């Protein structure tokens, strides 16, 4: 195709050759793989701004996941590498501007949710604090560094970003006593605001770090979101590795200790012994004995634990958790006439998500399950040849968000993994090299 990086054309050729007898899969891949590159990127003097698709703001989470499949060619294509680096540098600026914000404007335009009762700024689109919003840019930085060998990314600014994230996560280990963060939204559904005058549900110190909202942008029921804390552990490990390379031993040791504290909290407070499934992880807890047994389609999720790198793909507690998640014991697992999969309270009842299908496919250890997931993708794009947010498991022509680049990128990464192309140094690549 014209006006594409040469490496993209090479990837398309590989997929087309692999699926030469399956034109639907190739057409889906071509559309979805190119979607972020062709429709969501805006270059300016601050770097690269990435919209989510139908929302003209840049989420720290979504932008990382949208650009992630392009890491597979970053080592051989300087143009693509510079593009990814531009996204990372933009993310760093946003974190340093406001580490509690999850989504940003391209300029200080005052667009977005400026009426929310929190410390908004004209550059911030939305200020829902989510632990994963800080994990994703660290992960993307590390994977970019490993993919390209570009040591220039290991800069003083990166150190400042890691210090900012470290300080915030330390503060939010004691949210009740130390956190300055408050958030309220008027005249909205309850999942769009925090209780107790914006402080959120009551929690006690556990070693984990508190989150106001889930990666769905819905409020947490309980303040310790287990998959987000798992992602924080992994991200801190990435940060430690980069800091050690930079010979920043003092900060490297601090983030190592914090990761250990968070992991200890997860393993102590984030598991239950289920009467059917045995030892398994919970979705949320408050540290006082209350737990939320569910999973949500958005990543980080419990389903995504090995994809994130917290455990191995065949770790027993994860496998028990996975069995629970992919059953009707999970209140957001749906089965219908055309599909079955994990949905979210963020979307209508009985709507499964393509993001969750991609994660299910990439965490499956049997080819049979992976092949079934691919067929589900092919049967649920609603004749659009793009992925969506949620779709009705009885009628895939009923869906939310026709332009949702995160879902398109997740599908792309799944297909690439099917033909043995992985993001360098990612848990998927490491697992398949064993």
Tens-place pLDDT, residues 357-380: 999 999 999 999 999 999 999 999
pLDDT bin (cut points 50, 70, 90) of residue 46 is: confident
Q: What's this model's pTM, rounded to 2 decimal places?
A: 0.98
Assigned domain for 260 exists:
yes
Assigned domain for 343 exists:
yes
Assigned domain for 1 exists:
no
Tens-place pLDDT, residues 208-267: 999 999 999 999 999 999 999 999 999 999 999 999 999 999 999 999 999 999 999 999
Is 334 within 8 Å of 350 (Cβ atoms)? yes
Give me the mean pLDDT over the 340-348 stretch. 98
Assigned domain for 352 exists:
yes
Assigned domain for 327 exists:
yes
The residue among 399 and 434 whose pLDDT is bigger is: 399
Give me the number of domains the chain comprises: 1
What is the spatial distance between Cα 291 and Cα 362, in angstroms, rounded to a whole number? 27
What is the spatial distance between Cα 332 and Cα 97, in angstroms, rounded to a whole number? 35
- Given a cut of 60, is residue 292 above it in pLDDT? yes
Give me the mean pLDDT over the 270-274 stretch. 98
Task: Pull the structure tokens for residue 342.
Answer: 């994990």
Which pLDDT score is estimated for 433? 86
Task: Pull the structure tokens for residue 375.
Answer: 């067929």
- Is residue 125 packed enough to be buried (19+ CB in 10 Å), middle (13-18) or exposed (0-12)? buried
- Given a cut of 70, is residue 70 above it in pLDDT? yes
Which pLDDT score is estimated for 59? 98
Which pLDDT score is estimated for 5? 95
Task: Pull the structure tokens for residue 344.
Answer: 């979210």
Task: Pull the structure tokens for residue 85.
Answer: 């680096």
- Given a cut of 90, is residue 326 above it in pLDDT? yes
Region of 241 please: left (phi>0), alpha (psi -120 to 50) or beta.
alpha
Rg for the chain, CA atoms, rounded: 20
Angle at 419 between CA 418 and CA 423, to 5 degrees: 80
Mean pLDDT of the chain: 97
Longest dimension (CA), the chain: 61
- Given a cut of 90, is residue 300 above it in pLDDT? yes
- Given a cut of 90, is residue 2 above it in pLDDT? no
| Percent above pLDDT 90 for the chain | 98
Phi, psi (degrees; rounded to nearest 5) at 400: -110, 140
Assigned domain for 95 exists:
yes
Domain housing 180: 6-433
Q: Is 318 helix (H, G, I), strand (E, B) or coil?
A: helix
What is the spatial distance between Cα 270 and Cα 225, in angstroms, rounded to a whole number? 9
Length of the chain: 434
pLDDT bin (cut points 50, 70, 90) of residue 198 is: very high
CATH number at residue 365: 1.50.10.10
Assigned domain for 233 exists:
yes
Which pLDDT score is estimated for 272? 98
What is the spatial distance between Cα 200 and Cα 16, in angstroms, rounded to a whole number? 49
- Given a cut of 90, is residue 434 above it in pLDDT? no
Angle at 245 between CA 241 and CA 248, to 5 degrees: 90
Nearest to 39 by CA among 23, 24, 54: 54
Which pLDDT score is estimated for 1? 56
Tens-place pLDDT, residues 400-433: 999 999 999 999 999 999 999 999 999 999 999 8
Assigned domain for 39 exists:
yes
């Amino acid at each position: 195709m014209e006006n594409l990086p040469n490496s993209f054309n090479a990837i398309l050729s590989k997929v087309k050759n692999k699926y030469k007898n399956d034109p639907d899969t190739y057409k889906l891949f071509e559309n979805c793989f190119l979607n972020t590159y062709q429709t969501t990127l805006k270059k300016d003097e601050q770097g690269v701004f990435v919209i989510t698709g139908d929302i003209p703001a840049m989420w720290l989470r979504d932008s990382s996941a949208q650009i992630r499949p392009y890491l597979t060619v970053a080592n051989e294509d300087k143009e693509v590498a510079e593009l990814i680096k531009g996204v990372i540098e933009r993310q760093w600026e946003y974190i340093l501007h406001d580490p509690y914000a999850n989504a940003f404007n391209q300029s200080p335009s005052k667009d977005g949710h400026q009426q929310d009762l929190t410390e908004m700024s004209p550059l911030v689109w939305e200020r829902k604090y989510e632990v994963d919003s800080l994990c994703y840019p660290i992960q993307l930085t590390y994977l970019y560094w490993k993919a390209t060998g570009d040591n220039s990314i290991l800069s003083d600014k990166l150190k400042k970003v890691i210090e900012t994230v470290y300080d915030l996560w330390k503060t939010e280990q004691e949210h009740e006593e130390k956190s300055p963060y408050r958030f309220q939204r008027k005249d909205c559904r309850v999942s769009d605001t925090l209780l107790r005058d914006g402080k959120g549900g009551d929690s006690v110190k556990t070693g984990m770090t508190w989150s106001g909202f889930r990666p769905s942008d819905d409020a947490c029921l309980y303040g310790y979101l287990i998959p987000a804390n798992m992602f924080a552990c992994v991200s801190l490990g990435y940060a430690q590795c980069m800091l050690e390379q930079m010979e920043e031993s003092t900060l490297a040791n601090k983030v190592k200790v914090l990761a250990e504290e968070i992991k200890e909290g997860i393993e102590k407070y984030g598991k239950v012994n289920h009467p059917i499934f045995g030892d398994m992880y919970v979705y949320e807890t408050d540290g006082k004995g209350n737990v939320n047994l569910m999973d949500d389609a958005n990543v980080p999720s419990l389903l995504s634990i090995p994809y994130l790198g917290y455990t191995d793909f065949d770790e027993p507690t994860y496998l028990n958790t996975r069995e629970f998640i992919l059953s009707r014991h999970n209140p957001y697992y749906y089965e219908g006439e055309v599909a079955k999969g994990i949905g979210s309270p963020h979307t209508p009842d009985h709507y499964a998500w393509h993001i969750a299908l991609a994660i299910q496919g990439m965490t499956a250890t049997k080819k049979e399950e992976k092949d079934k997931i691919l067929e589900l993708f092919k049967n649920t794009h609603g004749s659009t040849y793009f992925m969506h947010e949620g779709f009705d498991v009885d009628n895939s022509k009923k869906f939310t968000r026709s332009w949702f680049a995160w879902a398109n990128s997740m599908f792309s990464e799944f297909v690439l993994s099917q033909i043995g192309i992985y993001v360098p140094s990612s848990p998927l690549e490491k697992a398949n090299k064993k």
